[in-house]
Amino acid sequence: MLDKNAQLTSDKQLLNKFGYAQELLRDMGGFSNFAISFSIISILTGAVSLYGYGLQFGGPGIMGFGWPLVAFFVLLIAASLAELASAIPTAGALYHWAAILGGRRWGWYTAWINLIGQIGIVAGIDYSCALFADPLLAPLFGYTSNLTTTLIVFGVILVLHGIFNHIGIRVVARLNDFSAWYHIAVVLVLVVSLAFFTKNHLQPFSYLYHVGQTFSGKPYWLAFMIGLLQAQWTFTGYDASAHTIEETVNPRVRAPWGIFNSVAYSFVFGFIMLAFVTLSMHDVSGAASASNGFIFVISQALGGTFGTVVLWLVTFAMWFCGLSSITSFSRMMYAFSRDKGMPGSRHWAQISKKYRTPAKAIWLVVALSFLFALVDYVIKQVNPNATYTTIAFLTAISVIGLYIAYGIPVYLKLRAQAQGRFLPKHLGPWHLGRWSKWINAISLLWIVFICIIMMIPPNQMALYAVVVLLILLLVMDFGYYHRHFEGPQAALKVSMEEIRRREAELQ
């Protein structure tokens, strides 16, 4: 086994073979790489913020059946992505894999679709945090919580996340490490509190599998599938382990395990948490119709100061989740920009010499995420009778964008294998062996299914947004990029002298 200095040299040489300089600070260990994906998945964000949404459509059964169902297929997708991360360990991740396996235009579309999903996930996570923080802050500062104050709190959270990410990966990595343990600790506090201190007795365990009850006015089978958004959005962002791969020591082993284990651990701890929250619920219709179903259940079960403390603990977990998501998003944007795939790429690819972070990309992420929610806010002001919710819109966009981006390189890998262009020798040390093709194929079927479900009413706004964004991509592609974008293949033309010069500039 190599010592750390030898491993760092080996990792840098591997990156150099792809034509890239070691510009980012490589300082993340295996746990830190796992922690960033585990923090972005954040069972205390997705499962919690969409808890009422899940109940509205699928009732208690969406927790007992829906969560394990989604987790099973997401584990297959995570394994497929982990295999690719081990084979092609660059910060571009999905974009880079697609470009190498299918060509530069496949890579360009994958990058932009991923960017759309990343904007949705950052905005969705931090908006969820604001939805919890705003009503908790309102009585402390003597104001009334409303859509405008939520947007202001959302903006403040984004700025704080931008500052911490700007300061450096060491700070963020330490916070991510803490976040992983914090998430586990809060889940345990929540479970113990509900098990021993709930005001009412817990429901029998069979209640968790109660199906047939929906408050959506739709047939239960359709409502149940729409309710899967709760679990499906929770299980997003685990590609962060791949986006931070150029900052991870021994990345071809640690990053794949980071991807896979973050989903596996989230499934287990998430299921335990959802089970106790659901079993403590005695007014399912009230929770399903409440503005925040999770807050409703916790307030009913624990009440008073104790319930407020638990809600603050959950809110801080969401804050950590948003911090990690901006780290992942900015690294993807940096990697895409260094290949000149975005307008103003030279700015977004710049690395701060002081902090060794893509500082300008970080603040662009903050601005775009706020703009995404701001546009939705303006629509709500113009049409206050809109039936969809902001959080459902943002989360559906992120699921569609991210999962299409997950699926493209998996499809291209299968195609390359069929054509004899991707061989066993191209695999990294982490691979699926003879099960690879079957796992990849099942993963693609699930991605197609879930993306369709996420675009049907009441999430039709997500469909409209996706169509508009895809039209913009086509205009950008045929107007400029199909002639001028060279993709990561251009990096292979960079001389070792140029790579060494870039690395020396940051010393």
Q: What is the CATH number of the domain that holds 243?
A: 1.20.1740.10
Stretch 436-457: mean pLDDT: 94
Burial of 384 (0-12, 13-18, 19+ CB in 10 A): exposed
CA 168 – CA 31 distance, rounded (Å): 18
Name the packing angle between helices 251-279 and 67-87 (round to 10°).
170
Residue 133 maps to a domain: yes
Which tokens go with 346? 């030279």
In a domain, 115, yes or no: yes
- Angstrom CA distances, 416 to 90, 98, 108, 183, 435, stand at 19, 11, 18, 39, 16
Q: Do the beta carbons of residue 197 and residue 306 sit within 8 Å?
A: yes
Predicted confidence (pLDDT) per residue in 333-349, tens digit:
988 898 888 999 999 99
CB 42 within 8 A of CB 317: yes
User: Per the domain annotation, does 499 fall within a domain?
Assistant: no
Q: What pLDDT score was predicted for residue 129?
A: 93
In this predicted structure, what is the pLDDT of residue 507? 64
What letters, b where the CB count within 10 A reaches 16 and e where it falls short, cover 180-196? Answer: bebbeebbeebbebbee
For a pLDDT cut of 90, what percent of the chain falls above it?
56
Average pLDDT over residues 237-265: 93
The 8-class DSSP code of residue 213 comes to: -
Other Cβ atoms within 10 Å of 268 Cβ, number: 12
Q: By C-alpha distance, which of 108, 72, 63 is closest to 339?
A: 108
Query: Mean pLDDT over residues 150-161, rounded?
Result: 96
**137, exposed or middle or buried, with CB in 10 Å at 0-12, 13-18, 19+?**
middle
Q: What is the residue range of 166's domain? A: 28-409+437-483
Is it the case that residue 502 has pLDDT exceeding 80? no
Mean pLDDT (whole number) for 104-115: 92
Whether 243 maps to a domain, the answer reads yes
Spatial contact of 224 and 215, defined as CB atoms under 8 Å apart: no
Q: Model's pTM, two decimal places?
A: 0.90
Q: What is the SS3 assignment for 351?
A: coil
- Going by pLDDT thresholds of 50, 70 and 90, the confidence category of residue 108 is very high
**Interatomic CA distance for residues 308 and 140, integer angstroms:** 12
Cα 320 vs. chain centroid, distance in angstroms?
13
Counted domains in the chain: 1
Q: Among 95-99, 246-250, 393-397, 475-479, which is the least confidently predicted range?
A: 393-397
Q: Look at residue 108 and tell me if it is in a domain.
A: yes
- Residue 340 forms part of a structural domain: yes
Q: What's the CA gap between 492 and 507, in Å, rounded?
A: 23
In a domain, 488, yes or no: no
Whole-angstrom distance, CA of residue 248 vs CA of residue 250:
6
420: in domain:
no
